[in-house]
Each structure stands twice: as C-alpha cells, then as structure tokens.
Amino acid sequence: MAKIKVGIVCGGKSSEHEISCISAAGVLSAIDTSKYEAKLIGITKSGKWVLPPENYQLTIEGEKLPEISEELPETNIAELGVDLLFPVLHGPYGEDGTFQGQCEMAGIKYVGSGVLASAVGMDKSFAKPIFQAHGLEVAPGMVINESDWQIDQDRILAKATEFGKPLFVKPARSGSSRGTSKVKNVKELKVAINFALQFDTKVLVESAIIGREMECAVLQLNGVAVASPVGEIKIVGDHEFYDFEAKYLDDSTQVIVPAKLEFGVQEEIANFATMAFDALGCEGLARVDFFYTGSKIIINEINTMPGFTSTSVFAKLWEVGGISYKDLITNLIESAIARPLNVMR
C-alpha cells in the first residue's frame, strides 16, 4: 500500500514565522514514516512557496531563530504532488483562513479548522462576542481601529482607562504574545497601542484579569470535540506576563499538568474549552486559554493551530491525557483525510 504524501507547511508572512518553523521540525521528527511520506514546504516572509532541502535548519541555534530563506527554489500549491497539507502555520496568512481558502480552491485536503473558524478564531474582536453569546465570560475591553486612533487619540485613551489598571494591549489578529503589552498608566497605554498597531490595524485593550493561567487542548476524535486535562502556566522568571520570550526563548515558564484545582473546576474548564471549540465551528485541534480567579473562569482566546512541538503545551496536555505526540499527528492526518473537500464551513 502506497504511503500517504503529507506536505508539512511552515514559515509564512506572519510575525510567528520562526515559531512555525520550530513546530514543523517537531512534526517532521515524529510523523509515522511507516504510513506517511513527509515533504517539507516553506512559505517565505514575502509569501513565496519554496522547497527547502532535506535537513533544512528549523530549530533554534543559540539565540538565532530559524527562517525560510527567500533563495530556495520556488513552487506553488498546484505543483506540490501531495495528498494532504499539514499547515503548522501560526498567525495571519496561515491560521486565519487565508491558507485554508487557498487549499479549498486548489482541492487539497488539509489539517485543522476550515476557512470561517480559522478566520474568527484568529480575530479576537470577533471571537469574543461569539464566546459571550454561548455563555462564556470574557475580559472587559474595547477594540481600537487604526483609522479611529489617528483621528481621536484623547477620546480613545479616556475610554480605555475606564477598564481599570493594569490593562493589556494586544493586536486583534496576532499570536505568541507578539505586540502585546501590560500597561499601568496612560503614557504606557499610548505607547502600547502604537506598538500593537505595528502588528495589526486593529487592537484590543482589555482589563488585566488577576488569576491563574489555565490551558486546555481540544482534539476532534471521530467528529467529537474532546478536551485534554487542564494545565496551568506558571512564570518563574522575570516576566510581567506570559510573553514571547517566556514562551519560547528562556526557561522561565513551567507547565503543570494536571493543574491543581478545587473539585469540579478542572471539568468545568474542560467543558468550556469544548464549548468554545464548537461555538466557532473548529475542526481537528485547538488550544483554549483561560484565567481562573478562584471564583470565575474567563476565556482569554482560542488557537486553532497552536504551537506544535513535542514540548509545546498542546502536546504536554495530551501526553498526560494518554495520547502521544506521534499519535496526535496521526489522528490529525487521518481526520483530515476523512473530511470531504469543497464543503462550506
């Protein structure tokens, strides 16, 4: 029986380009080669599709992050010669429905959520009202569009301060905490908004929730969303919050799985995670992030293509849940193969 040809796609035009490369290295190292023939496909920061050679550097070397070179031989989605694409693409132009739409147009099956769920999950300003409509609590906040910011900064700053202090400022359509700041006064707030606008034309300002950071992975098994054990993120280094450096560049973060929680809270968070997954119409996989204050569970965001190395939070949660990293990859590929193409979803 011929092996299924799987294209592992990484890189992309987003600020999470380098993290995508690291995720791809993980998948390539663990994919079941008795079933699948893996092919690395890169997307450069300018958006070119390229074919990296075998053993292309995809991991961190010292403090140097990996990157898909613009000098590699070009290709396009119609010439790939694969049965399925596994896009370990994070952020805009990969996790936001654009890549998924390209696959649908080309008639190529792919791992993960469809066009709509990917787009809404990426844009926190759209996801939050949907979560609220399904009974999930979100942090109070507001959306700032770049065009409005250019016209009336004083009014916007005055409105934003109504949500208390400290505040979090983040791009609406970014991930890995890129462009995110924690601020304690109006001067910092103005700087943070301008910083976030470097990553997106739309910015969220939210009340900082004082609580424990909880994460839950969701996997679709036989069409049903199933939640992993809940984990807690603990920052032990010198970081104000769970920022990019804490996530990827140093050892300042601990993931405790399962999280030590009062009776029933673990189950409630897991239930909320699958509710969020189903509310957006997600498929395949997602990681859902929450805050637990001791009395409330507040959803922070959903990631429809979370960091996907063997040591990522998603993999760690499922390892405790009884599914190995290799089996996660197999499950996602088989689910994507079974899913029909050209279905509006």
Show Cβ contacts of residue 118 under 8 Å, excluding neighbours closer than 6 positions. 95, 96, 97, 99, 100, 112, 304, 305
pLDDT digit string (tens) for 99-155? 999 999 999 999 999 999 999 999 999 999 999 999 999 999 999 999 999 999 999
- What domains lie within the chain, and their CATH numbers? 4-111 (3.40.50.20), 121-137+210-338 (3.30.470.20), 140-207 (3.30.1490.20)
Phi, psi of 224 (to 5 degrees): -115, 135
pLDDT of residue 343: 58
Name which of 13, 93, 10, 91 is nearest 57 in CA terms: 10
Q: What is the mean pLDDT of residues 85-102?
A: 94
178 pLDDT tier (thresholds 50, 70, 90): confident
pTM of the model: 0.91
pLDDT of residue 182: 92
